[in-house]
Structure 1
Amino acid sequence: MHRQLLNLCALALLAGCATTAPPPHAADGWQPMALPGKTPTRYSWTEKDGRPALEAASERSASIWRKRVEPALADVGEVSFSWWAQGLIPNASVADIDREDAVARVIFGFGGDIDKLSLRTRMKFELAQALTGEVPPYATLMYVWDSKLPVGTVVVNPRSDRIRKIVVDSGPGELHRWRDHRRDLAADFRLAFGEAPGPLVSMAVMTDSDNSRASARTWYGVVELKKPSAGSGAAAAAAPGP
């Protein structure tokens, strides 16, 4: 039950309910989000291989670095993001409830009609709202780096089917270098959830190693959203760094 409540709190934080004020050095609206009962991952501005980056250092810890999308983005197109991972967590798996850690995650929260969800899910959302003051996103899509699952695997979160993950890096072969990803966010949402996405309300990065009681160190580059129409340029650029 404790893990389920923690998961609900994490969802609500993605919706933008955190009461923690942003630190003076926070860039472009990004701020740290602690999870109840968890040692926070340390996030700090730096450079990595000549790129501005947000460094995430996890020591048996879990927390989020999040940005609200205000106003919410009604239409989403391509997204580009990058990460550089020092090493993997050997026993971790984003598909296992007891080992659900990842060295790298880029996370998107979407709005939607919560009344369409099952009674059980709505009750979970009401509990999260009571705990945090905000309703979680209607749906949360994560891009993750997993230790073993094949690239392209879609994972339904074992604690909440309103969180789904797509593996975009796997195994140790791409460690110690920048990995640049460009994805069709709307198409990936349809793949994961079987419906069109609602408005984009938040985005975040997360490195966690608490369930595995291990360590992880990752650097994140710019997260950039593109308008869906061809040649229309960037809708929003959100760099979790200076």
Structure 2
Amino acid sequence: MQGEGQASFVWRRVEGPPVCLSWRWRVDVGPPPTDLTRRGGDDKALSIAVGFAGWPPDASVWQRTQHRLAQARVGNGRTLPRSVLMYVWGGTGREPAFFATPYLAGLGRMRVLRPADAPRGRWFPERVDLAADWRAAFGGEPPPVEEIAVGTDVDDTASRVDAAVEAPALAPCG
């Protein structure tokens, strides 16, 4: 993915139980460390977002209403996930293990796997246990996975990004 001063993502629909997700990624050029907890200053070189079909156990009426409004804006061509885990290359590296994104009406949790100042120009493999991470982020039993999105976001810092993700794969853990 390449860009300058913009945010973009690609997504694919997947269906199945929450298993392990693996991939490799690299950043050659990316934004400086930013505060990922605040809207309007939360740039990141790469993110892998996993959308789930079910609500977090403590999802409020307000959150569900916000979701319905967002779904109405998107239309019938795409079903928005009801909860999201986002794995990030960006931020400062001092963030808590899982924290609420400043978007998604509290239905998304973010986890920094590589801070913005991680070494550039080399591939890093990642593997996450989606069920364990959903439990740690939201509590309760995880719902089925319904989509995976890869994104970049450099609009707040007007930075350049040149980054790649390869070989995303869902497979049983263990």
Match of 1:122 among 64, 79, 86: 64
Larger CA deviation: 164-173 vs 112-121 = 112-121
Q: Which residue, out of 81, 84, 87, partners 1:140?
A: 84
What code does the residue aligned with 1:184 have? Answer: D
Q: 2:25 and 2:55 mapped to 1: Cα distance?
A: 33
Q: Is the 8 A contact 2:28 2:163 kept in 1?
A: yes
**Structure 1 pair 148–191 and aligned structure 2 pair: CA distance change class (3 A):** same
Q: 1:132 to 1:168 in 2, by over 3 A?
A: same
Aligned residues with identical type, % of pairs: 28
Instruction: Say whether 1:90 aligns with 2:32.
Output: yes
Distance 2:18 2:151 in 1: 21
- Bigger strand fraction: 2
Aligned to 2:10: 65
Where structure 2 has 5 or more consecutive residues not aligned to the other structure, the ranges are none
Task: Give, in whole Å, the separation in 2 of the partners of 1:76 and 1:125.
Answer: 22
Q: Shift of the alpha carbon at 1:151? A: 7.3
* 1:91 shift after superposition: 4.8
C-alpha displacement at 1:67, in angstroms?
A: 0.5
Deviation per CA, 1:144-169, whole angstroms, max 9, x where unpaired? 01241237632211232111111111
The two structures, once aligned, show a CA RMSD in angstroms of 2.1
1:181 to 96, 119, 126: 126
1:153 matches 2:97: yes
TM-score when scaled to structure 2?
A: 0.88
Name segments (4+ residues, structure 1) moved above 3 Å. 113-116
Aligned length: 171
Q: After the TM superposition, which residues 1-242 of structure 1 pair with which residues of structure 2 at under 5 Å, given as runs?
A: 56-69=1-14, 72-73=15-16, 75-113=17-55, 117-134=59-76, 135-150=79-94, 153-159=97-103, 160-228=105-173, 230=174
Larger RCO (CA within 8 A; separation ≥ 6): 2
Give the C-alpha shift of residue 77 in structure 1.
2.0
